[in-house]
Structure 1
């Protein structure tokens, strides 16, 4: 069931929700949380679809906040709230409210969302893209117990990781971290089967993939050994190598779906390690509402502390380029000085 409301208010939206539930005989007591999605018109469909799929595991009231800003001064003054209420089969296993905030109202989204939150239920805010620098201090983020971002959607994912580390607050998490949960579980299980002292590790994957960096930082933080970050064509993470005193443990996934686990003294094993859809990632994050201390420790470890030739080569190449530039400048200096003196000599001869 869908109800469209134009130039409406939060009170009228609540009344529409109650009327829709009565019309189809669906109570609200089965919903366990409120999920607020802050997105734009372009990404709203995909975000709502992922949230609807996740609601099959976590029945929730989904509130999508779409800010319709305009550069026109007059349009900014014309504040207006349009809404779409979905209940029943059109909203997964919960309720969905799509809010379109026009004009100056877009800068006060929290005043619209607050009356629509489920009473006595946790609140989670998700930014599929365009997350604020400090989610906990964002007006909408301040309403939530959990705040979900996605560094992978940023223009510079590794810079985004640095921002997440610098502005971390309890309750923050990122889907780049959620993507490596199967990898962390598989590596931990491998070490349980073959306990050994690890001396070094290597993480291979795409160069600008934040999940690769987070996995490398997690290993370096937890194991206290040098972790080398090497690059491949992907997709995503492609391999992890753990060097131990008893041999090498390798988890290799070249095609993005099926991986091979190789351990010393054991036959190679094929393990399912497919790349997951946003709905699966979101459902995983909604399972816990307490602060993720492991994520905090990993993201704060810092990319710059990772060891390995990839970083060393980059630094050496930059230093060599700087040295060549300085040498060329030094070589060109006498020529430039001579060129400046030449006109002076000609003028004197005249």
Structure 2
């Protein structure tokens, strides 16, 4: 069910939520957190809502979407409430602000009256994010601040901002996309001959924050020299090669879907390693609301990585 509240305010939205609760049952019971989505009003809005709805099936929550509209319009707030089948396992409140209400500093004032009481808050910027999410008006309300450098207009600059301005509670979906890569690499080193890794090679697209992060992760966790090179493929992270005395452990994904794992003394294995959906990454990040120290170490480890210019064949 979708209820539109044009030219509204947060008080009217709260009243409508109470009416719906009295008429259809206490649908807010069991909500474990409030997820605030900050984006622009446009074609990507529904995709963001769909991703939040999918994640809410694992984490029932109240989803508040700040959809910033035209800045030059007259000040106005158009609200929309979605419940039932149109809201996954959550309740979705869409706030479209225009004019002064579309400004970045206006979002927190609209969100605060609608937060679930005594529940943690997570903020998600699907596209452009503030340079310092922890100092943003909405970011200060949240225990967990989720960004996505890959979706920014300039992914390289956005990633450098994440490195420079990291604060406990920050995370980025470029890191979450690496979970399966990290699991496969850790499992490959957890079998005989248990030899130390002497150095590593990581290859991927020239502009690939995830490739930078996996290189930083290896440098920080293994304390080895890591070289980051471009690859001949255009599928994000393409290759991780770990060198040991008995031979290389190599995880290569030339087509962006299926990876090839090669280990000394073992047959070659094919592994399904397609790029993860945003909804899966978002659901994973909502599983924990405490600081991610390993992500912080990976960001710091990027500065220890050396650069190669010759494209690597995968």
Shared topology, TM-score over 0.5? yes
Gaps of 5+ in 2: none
Do the aligned partners of 2:215 and 2:302 also contact (CA within 8 Å) in 1? no
Matched, 1:57 2:68: no
Aligned residue number for residue 262 of structure 1: 262
Decide which structure has the larger Cα Rg and report it. 1
Whole-Å separation in 2 of the counterparts to 1:255 and 1:23? 52
Superposed, 1:147-226 pairs within 5 Å as: 147-194=145-192, 195-226=194-225
Whole-Å separation in 1 of the counterparts to 2:68 and 2:256? 35
Q: Report the CA distance between 1:246 and its aligned residue.
A: 1.8
Do the aligned partners of 1:20 and 1:87 also contact (CA within 8 Å) in 2? no
Gaps of 5+ in 1: 315-350
Superposed, 1:99-110 pairs within 5 Å as: 99-107=95-103, 108-110=106-108
Corresponding residue SS for 2:198: strand
Whole-Å separation in 1 of the counterparts to 2:21 and 2:207? 46
1:227-253 alpha-carbon deviations (Å, 9 max, x no partner): 111212231111110001121101111
Q: Report the CA distance between 1:2 and its aligned residue.
A: 1.4
Corresponding residue SS for 1:21: helix
Aligned residue number for residue 49 of structure 2: 48
Aligned residue number for residue 306 of structure 2: 307
1:152-196 alpha-carbon deviations (Å, 9 max, x no partner): 012332222211111111100000000001101110111011321
Corresponding residue SS for 1:301: helix
Corresponding residue SS for 1:193: coil
Aligned residue number for residue 294 of structure 1: 294
Corresponding residue SS for 2:220: helix
Do the aligned partners of 1:60 and 1:93 also contact (CA within 8 Å) in 2? yes
Q: Which moved more, 1:283-292 or 1:162-171?
A: 162-171
Do the aligned partners of 2:204 and 2:235 also contact (CA within 8 Å) in 1? yes
C-alpha change, 1:266 and 1:2, in structure 2 (3 Å) is same
TM-score (norm 1): 0.84
Aligned residue number for residue 145 of structure 1: 143
Whole-Å separation in 2 of the counterparts to 1:102 and 1:309? 47
Matched, 1:36 2:36: yes
Matched, 1:82 2:78: yes
1:184-238 alpha-carbon deviations (Å, 9 max, x no partner): 1110111011321111101111110100110011111111111111212231111
More helix by share: 1
Do the aligned partners of 2:71 and 2:100 also contact (CA within 8 Å) in 1? no
Aligned residue number for residue 327 of structure 1: none
Corresponding residue SS for 2:17: helix
Do the aligned partners of 2:219 and 2:302 also contact (CA within 8 Å) in 1? no
Whole-Å separation in 2 of the counterparts to 1:213 and 1:294? 14
Do the aligned partners of 1:56 and 1:92 also contact (CA within 8 Å) in 2? yes
Corresponding residue SS for 1:302: helix
Matched, 1:238 2:238: yes
In the alignment of these two chains, the number of paired residues is 306
Do the aligned partners of 2:76 and 2:99 also contact (CA within 8 Å) in 1? yes
Q: Report the CA distance between 1:40 and its aligned residue.
A: 0.8
Q: Report the CA distance between 1:308 and its aligned residue.
A: 4.4
Matched, 1:278 2:274: no
Higher relative contact order (CA 8 A, sep 6+): 2
Whole-Å separation in 2 of the counterparts to 1:309 and 1:3? 55
